[in-house]
Structure 1
Amino acid sequence: MTRLHLVRHGPTHAKTMVGWSDLPADLSDTAAISRLSDFLPASGLVISSDLSRTIATADAIQGTRQRLDHDPDLREIHFGDWELRNFKEIEAEDPERIRAYWEHPGDVRPPNGESWNEVASRVDRGIDRLISNHTGKDLIIVVHFGVILTQVQRAEKLTASEVFAHRIDNLSVTSIHIDDKAWSLQHINHIP
């Protein structure tokens, strides 16, 4: 059985849409980071996206665990022209598209960005590669809100609209077990 432990990176405190922008994580809550590290399997392999907020969070929880190379397929949603802008600003200039993006996710994309379906496809490719290369292992995957939701959607066979109802807090763990080809969601948004 392969076990995915999807960890959301430390907070950025940004009040805008943060996807591919490389904002740092606030890792000042050392007690929370210590609890998180202690909760995760000691023999797990640690990997993150290639953005600094996930890299720093992975470094903080790694301990003596083996580290794998960063994977750009595990990046957050690419918000394109909406990047680092807040909802109200975007709504003022493109209200129909931004509402459609969040209310009916799928093929709607931000200008010069990715649709939800494109994000899910990219992330699935990265996760499938990890599973194939490390079958039977505990994989501690430090990633982003959207990345975690793509895998919850996959495990639970939810629509994009249904999966967006889930909350994924910073420094939380969502665990999925994969036995043969059956995916089983163990817990979501667990705060150790």
Structure 2
Amino acid sequence: MKLTLIRHTSLQVPEGVCYGQSDIDVSASFHSELAQVTQKLAGEKIDAVYASPLQRCSKLAHALGLDAEIVHDDRLKELHFGDWEMQAWNDIPRELFDVWAQSYADMAPPNGETFATLQQRGIAFIEECLQLHANQHLLVVTHGGMIRALIAHALNMQLKGLFRFHIDYASLTRMDFSGAVPRIEFVNR
């Protein structure tokens, strides 16, 4: 199974705001970013399309106009930042943020979730897709956190290194799960 992951386009949210699972709309540059994604996908045979149900992913999945039903899956959502959602990062008490930043794999923001939980959602999604789409090419429109978590899973690396990967808006990342071990074909194309 090949998995092409697309990070949603840029958002209509001020810089420096923690937004996680908040349902933020796309920015005014959506159509130009959509054109770039469409060009990157030109000639690809896609067998199935999955998307996070948050509007920034759903809008992109629908706008791509592919000949496949779009299945929305809650497991593909971004990290839930709990009480920090829609707060400026600078307004989060520094001592709380610093403790979380050192342990985000296993520590959740207040009323949020851990990156380990996010990664487990992603792994469960992949395992189900391997059963349903073993020899197919899937397109998945999701979020930067989920893409990082799946890269870490494929590379068998600790979650602590997640933010060493920069995942651009409207970028493609491809993974191949057809062999004995997962392979990363490209990141940020």
1:27 Cα deviation after fit: 6.1
8 Å CA contact 1:22–1:52 kept in 2: the answer is: yes
Q: Percent same amino acid at aligned positions?
A: 26
Aligned CA distance change for structure 1 residues 185 and 131 (closer, same or farther; 3 Å): same
Which residue of the other structure, out of 53, 58, 64, is the alignment partner of 1:50? Answer: 53
Indicate the SS of the match to 2:173.
Answer: strand
Could you say what the CA RMSD is over the residues aligned between the two structures, in angstroms?
Answer: 1.7
The range that moved more, 30-39 or 135-144, is 30-39
Q: How does 1:171-190 map to 2 (within 5 A)?
A: 171-190=170-189
Residue 17 of structure 1 corresponds to: 18
Residue 122 of structure 1 corresponds to: 121
1:30 Cα deviation after fit: 3.0
Aligned structure 1 segments of 4 or more residues deviating by more than 4 angstroms: none
Q: How does 1:79-158 map to 2 (within 5 A)?
A: 79-91=81-93, 95-158=94-157
Q: Hey, what's the Cα distance between the residues in 2 that align with 1:17 and 1:181?
A: 37
1:31 Cα deviation after fit: 4.0
8 Å CA contact 1:97–1:108 kept in 2: the answer is: no
1:18 Cα deviation after fit: 1.0
8 Å CA contact 1:74–1:143 kept in 2: the answer is: yes
1:112-141 per-residue CA deviation (whole Å, 9 max, x = no partner) reads: 100111111112112221222111111110
Aligned residues: 185
TM-score (norm 2): 0.90
TM-score (norm 1): 0.89
1:32-87 per-residue CA deviation (whole Å, 9 max, x = no partner) reads: 322322322233421101111100011122x2330232000110000000001121
- Unpaired runs of 5+ residues, structure 2, are none
